[in-house]
Amino acid sequence: MKIIKTEFSGLYLIEPEVFGDSRGWFFESWQYDRFKNAGIDVSFVQDNISYSGKNTIRGLHYQNGETAQDKLCFVLEGKVLDVAVDIRRGSPTFGKYLSAELSGDNKRQLFIPKGFAHGFSVLSEGAVFVYKVSSNYAPASEKTIIYNDATLSIDWKVAEPVVSQKDLKGEPFLQIEKNFIY
């Protein structure tokens, strides 16, 4: 397993070792000691799985306060562009984002620490997206940044985005609360 540091403090791209033969494949998606030894000391409490069709954009979501979440994201089927935006005031990468293609083929994972907003767009006909979180979902603490925020200028790589009504009501990046300090 390769755990690759990015330019964003605490944000890692993970390339698991995949074992395959004529029957199929196997890989460890999470192994506490391996991640802890790489500096990712997190206990996950909930697994989430979603299916989304082509051109869907979900996010940019995050939770505030005690329910802020670390996330480990990967795709079982299909292909997505996974996006993490640094919302930690004082961070050298505040307001910047990292995007990575995650797919059922490449088995890559993205570890996103607290203090990042998260979203993804579906680049294939559909995608099964999986993510582990370190805190339970708390609707009262959930916040959304509008996916097409001009300040962030994220290239979601989809021509005609399909976005939920909830996500269309997201806040502009420059108006989000200052809850995460680097």
Active site residues: 61, 131
**Residue 154, Cα to own-chain centre: how many angstroms?**
14
**How big is the CA angle at 117 (ends 111 and 118), to the nearest 5 degrees?**
60
Alpha carbon distances (Å) from 132 to 111, 124, 136? 9, 22, 10
User: What is the rounded distance in angstroms from the CA atom of residue 4 to the CA atom of residue 80?
Assistant: 19
> CA-based Rg of the chain, rounded to a whole angstrom?
16
**Does the CA dihedral 176-148-127-33 come out positive or negative?**
negative
**Does the CA dihedral 44-46-52-58 come out positive or negative?**
negative
| Residue 76 CB neighbour total at 10 angstroms | 14
Report which DSSP code applies to 26: E
